[in-house]
Amino acid sequence: TLQDRLADVFKGLRSKGRLTAADIDATMREIRIALLEADVNLGVVKEFIAAVKERSLGIELSKALNPSQQIIKIVNEELVTILGGEARTIRFAKRPPTVIMLAGLQGAGKTTLAGKLAKWLRGEKHAPLLVAADLQRPNAVNQLQIVGERAGVHVFAPEPGNGVGDPVKVARDAIEHAQRRLYDVVIVDTAGRLGIDETLMQQAADIKAAVNPDEVLFVVDAMIGQDAVNTAKAFEDGIGFDGVVLTKLDGDARGGAALSIAKVVGKPIMFASNGEGLGDFDVFHPDRMASRILGMGDVLTLIEQAEKTFDAEQSRAAAEKLMGGRAKFSLQDFLGQMQQLRKMGPLSKIFGMLPGAGQFKDAINEIDEKEVDRIEAIIHSMTPAERDDVAILNGSRRARIAKGSGTQVSDVNQLVNRFVEARKMMERMAGGGGMPGMPGMPP
């Protein structure tokens, strides 16, 4: 996944304060591979990489984020932009009923979506009517009726035994029916074929012309990958649509198709379906899809929190000390850093959100909040002079601190030893600037 690839690239970058052009090239290469693996259209990948690269070269050294985090942030922002930025949902007509027409290949999930939309609309205090304008398959009408029953909405269907039936007429009659009975939203389910064909397109175009929909939603199975782009193009050319609905996101699709459709066709993705149940449905969230494509888990949340809670000034002072200034990095500095980190949330949760955290599950579970509490208590029991220079901590001072913090002398010893070790290590690594690591904690 991208997160593993980036973790490797970033391992080398972590200690650097500044990115070189070569660093950025290496990173872009990995992002490119990851996007292609996520099934993103090649043209889209190229354009995307160019945009990210340009922004990366202009990166200002941020105090809150290291270079790798900054690139992830840029990649994420660009993804969200391509995916449509802010999501939009149905635009309701000024004069009801609002007519929504569903189009897409057979099996895309139109009929299921009709029920999901109807249920969702009911929750939003609308009175939707479902229309069975798929008269192609023998039991298509029946399927919609079952879906309608489950969603608790009425279904307008041709009279049974009325021959083959004309979907255009059914759709037209349904609009009249909705006007008379004061339904304020009409959802027209249409027929699909297994592939693009003229008859299908013509029928959909005829229905569209007859009902003059406010929204034509192109419904597409996210699992079909690259084909989704061609299908979307064909429907855009054949009938034209206003928005996209991605279905079957509960499958293992990486979401690359979504990104490609949004970019190639330039239409917003409005809803996402992630299961067969009527509740398995949500308005589309570009930011969630972006992290799905990146495979970054909650790392973006983490980055946001870091930016929010980071006290740049305090950390700058700490970093300066580490870089060999006159004053040594002290326990007081350590306490400050630790408290900043804790502002972001429980430590185990913070580390759990890091990419690749799965590998370190055991270590993360071992992060004992109580132990961190204990460390804080010990440092709090020290005098400023002791925090400043651990060398003065003789036996009687240690005993006093242990007593004051409700711990054992061995706990105090352990903290002091770990701190001294960690500081040595940090001093060896220092020189590049950036945010220092946390002594005594996983990197």
**Omega into 97 within 30° of 0, i.e. cis?**
yes
36 marked ligand binding residue? no
The closest of 103, 104, 97 to 216, measured between CA atoms, is: 103
Which residues, 6+ apart, have CB-to-CB distance to 423 below 8 Å?
A: 328, 329, 439
* Residue 106 contact among ligand GDP, Mg ion, none, beta carbon within 5 to 8 Å by kind: ligand GDP
Token reading at 208:
């569209």
Here the tokens at position 27 are 């990173």
Q: How far apart are CA 117 and CA 291, in angstroms?
A: 25
Q: Which of 104, 128, 268, 434 is the binder for ligand GDP (CB under 6 A)?
A: 104
Q: Which of 410, 337, 322 is nearest to 372 (CA)?
A: 337
The enclosing H or E element of 220 equals strand 215-221
CB of 191 to ligand GDP, least distance (A): 8
335 is in an annotated binding site: no
| By the rule CB under 6 A, 282 interacts with ligand GDP | no
Is residue 247 at the binding interface for Mg ion, with CB under 5 A as the rule? no
CA distance 190 to 132: 7
Full DSSP string of 14-29: TT-SS--HHHHHHHHH
Whether residue 56 contacts residue 27, with contact meaning beta carbons closer than 8 Å, is answered with yes
Contacted by 66, from Mg ion, ligand GDP, none: CB < 5 to 8 Å by type: none
Q: Which of 7, 64, 81, 107 binds ligand GDP (CB under 6 A)?
A: 107
Rg of the chain, C-alpha, whole Å: 29
Q: Which is nearer to ligand GDP, 278 or 294 (CB)?
A: 278
d(CA 259, CA 80): 9
Q: Does 273 bind ligand GDP (CB under 6 A)?
A: yes
Closest approach, Cβ 274 to ligand GDP, in A, equals 5
**Minimal CA–CA distance to 161: which of 128, 135, 187?**
135
CA distance 53 to 24: 7
111 binds ligand GDP (CB under 6 A): yes
Q: Cβ 236 to ligand GDP, closest distance in Å? A: 18
Neighbours of 59 (CB within 10 A): 16
Task: Using CB atoms within 10 Å of the CB of residue 69, give its burial: 0 to 12 exposed, 13 to 18 middle, 19+ buried.
Answer: buried
Stretch that binds ligand GDP, among 110-118, 258-266, 315-323, 360-368 (CB under 6 A): 110-118
The answer to whether 15 contacts ligand GDP (rule: CB under 6 A) is: no
Binding mask 51-90 for ligand GDP (x = CB under 6 A): ----------------------------------------
Q: How far apart are CA 27 and CA 21, in angstroms?
A: 10
CB 319 within 8 A of CB 336: no
Contact status: 136 vs ligand GDP (CB under 6 A): no
Count of chain residues binding ligand GDP (CB under 6 A): 17
> Is residue 111 part of the contact set for Mg ion (CB under 5 A)?
yes
Distance CA(19)–CA(23), nearest Å, equals 6
**What binding mask, one character per residue, do residues 165-204 give for ligand GDP by CB under 6 A, x or -?**
---------------------------x------------
Which part of the chain contacts ligand GDP (CB under 6 A), choosing from 117-125, 243-251, 307-315, 404-412?
A: 243-251
**What does 273 bind: Mg ion, ligand GDP, none (CB cut-off 5 to 8 Å by kind)?**
ligand GDP
Residue 190 binds to Mg ion (criterion: CB under 5 A) = no
CA separation for the pair 2, 290 (Å, rounded): 12
Cα–Cα distance, 344 to 299 (Å, whole number): 13
* Interaction pattern, residues 287-326, with ligand GDP; x per rule: CB under 6 A: ----------------------------------------
Instruction: For residue 249, say whether it is annotated as part of any ligand binding site.
Output: yes
Q: Which is nearer to ligand GDP, 113 or 331 (CB)?
A: 113
User: How many chain residues bind Mg ion (CB under 5 A)?
Assistant: 2
Q: Determine if residue 227 is labeled as part of a ligand binding site.
A: no
Task: Candidates 53-61, 104-112, 334-342, 423-431: pick the segment binding Mg ion (CB under 5 A).
Answer: 104-112
CB 368 within 8 A of CB 16: no
**Interface residue list for Mg ion (CB under 5 A):** 110-111
Chain residues in the site for ligand GDP (CB under 6 A): 104, 106-112, 192, 247-248, 250, 273-276, 280
